[in-house]
């Protein structure tokens, strides 16, 4: 009887979630991987950054570079946003649809991002007050900053209660500037888009090194990931959308039609190579080294190749990212991103992993992952999904 109830509940849940899957299942799976990658990284940090070595016969495989570059998950999110949100504008420029209505577009973006954030903000404020007596919002201006996600250095903004919130206003700032970039999404102007995206990023990062060269690393990371500094990520996603929409009008060398499986595999290899490159050069990253200007474009290019291959129906991406597990992970990825640090921070302050010594990382993941995805699924069904449905009406 219990087994029957469990099975019935799972079938109902699967049925509910299946309604929300888009046609490009692999892109949903890629979003799921991005959130999980960030989760792995923060778990590794909470476990005090142990070396991740695996002995295979005479070989010793080092997975530390890949796990330690969890920021790549944010890059994947940004490239995906550039592609998915840029595609309607590329279709408009191609003459295959009407110009997207800015008011409706902005409403959709607000309805997608803010509800789950507001729900978490409310819960965290309540928990902080009733558990530890902390009051984060003491005046109206602070409340407005939290409501508008103004997470920038004081006095302009506030420090986020949840450390992952800092990327949310960066994403939303792209939503605001995307319509102004739409004129570049034509087959004859692809190089405008590429030059503008890379040029803005390089100029921003050069100014950053000049002005903040001696600032603490967290401050430099935060500053380097503000919108001008990440336009290469959004821009390469937009370029992938342009190529996808205008696939019959762009040069063959720019859009190889022979084998999208190969494109996806090369994209994966490029991401892996970028991880080991960053790990080897990490001590020189902030020394005005070429890696400071080239690492995110290389990572974004690999991601854009995977996105484009997935959009064109690559069997490799469908197998790797379009399976049920990855698609489910993609559906709840936003809530996973929001809640994973909160859950792992709580676990590390309990007795669950105390004294685990060298096994803190795997034990933390074993305890945290089921709880994170349970909370994320609840958040998706109760908070995100109603607003997603409202947007579609």
Is residue 379 exposed (0-12), middle (13-18) or buried (19+ Cβ within 10 Å)? buried
- Gap between the Cα atoms of 39 and 370, Å rounded: 12
pLDDT-flagged residues of the chain (< 70): 1-23, 153-155, 250-258, 393
* DSSP labels, 293-337: HHHHHHHHHHHHHHHHHHHTT-HHHHHHHSSHHHHHHHHTHHHHH
Residue 356 pLDDT: 72
Element (DSSP H or E) covering residue 54: strand 53-56
Do residues 147 and 207 make contact, with C-beta atoms less than 8 angstroms apart? Answer: no
- Residues 6 or more apart whose CB falls under 8 angstroms from that of 2 comprise none
DSSP code for 57: T
Residue 241 pLDDT: 96
Is residue 181 exposed (0-12), middle (13-18) or buried (19+ Cβ within 10 Å)? buried
Residue 153 pLDDT: 67
């Amino acid at each position: 009887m219990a087994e029957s109830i469990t099975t019935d509940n799972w079938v109902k849940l699967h049925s509910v979630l299946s309604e929300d899957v888009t046609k490009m299942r692999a892109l949903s799976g890629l979003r799921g991987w991005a959130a999980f990658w960030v989760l792995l990284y923060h778990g590794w940090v909470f476990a005090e950054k142990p070396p991740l070595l695996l002995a295979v016969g005479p070989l010793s495989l080092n997975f530390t570079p890949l796990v330690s570059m969890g920021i790549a998950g944010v890059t994947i999110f940004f490239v995906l946003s550039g592609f998915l949100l840029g595609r309607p504008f590329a279709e408009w420029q191609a003459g295959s649809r009407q110009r997207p209505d800015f008011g409706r577009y902005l409403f959709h973006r607000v309805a997608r991002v803010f509800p789950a954030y507001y729900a978490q903000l409310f819960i965290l404020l309540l928990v902080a007050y009733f558990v530890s007596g902390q009051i984060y919002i003491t005046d109206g201006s602070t409340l407005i900053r939290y409501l508008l996600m103004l997470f920038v250095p004081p006095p302009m903004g506030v420090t986020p209660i949840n450390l992952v919130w800092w990327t949310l206003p960066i994403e939303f700032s792209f939503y605001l500037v995307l319509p102004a970039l739409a004129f570049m999404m034509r087959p004859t102007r692809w190089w405008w888009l590429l030059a503008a995206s890379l040029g803005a990023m390089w100029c921003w990062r050069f100014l950053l090194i000049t002005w903040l060269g001696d600032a603490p690393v967290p401050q430099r990371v935060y500053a380097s990931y503000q919108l001008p500094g990440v336009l290469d990520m959004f821009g390469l996603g937009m370029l992938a959308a342009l190529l996808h929409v205008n696939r019959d009008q762009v040069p063959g060398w720019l859009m190889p039609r022979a084998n999208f499986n190969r494109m996806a595999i090369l994209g994966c290899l490029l991401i892996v190579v970028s991880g080991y490159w960053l790990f080897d050069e990490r001590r020189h990253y902030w020394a005005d080294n070429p890696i400071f200007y080239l690492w995110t474009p290389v990572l974004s290019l690999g991601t854009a190749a995977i996105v484009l291959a997935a959009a064109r129906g690559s069997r490799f991406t469908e197998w790797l990212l379009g399976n049920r597990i990855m698609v489910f992970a993609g559906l709840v990825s936003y809530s996973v991103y929001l809640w994973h640090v909160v859950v792992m921070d709580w676990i590390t302050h309990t007795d669950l992993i105390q004294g685990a010594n060298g096994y803190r990382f795997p034990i933390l993941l074993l305890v945290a992952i089921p709880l994170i995805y349970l909370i994320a699924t609840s958040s998706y069904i109760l908070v995100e999904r109603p607003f997603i449905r409202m947007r579609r009406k």
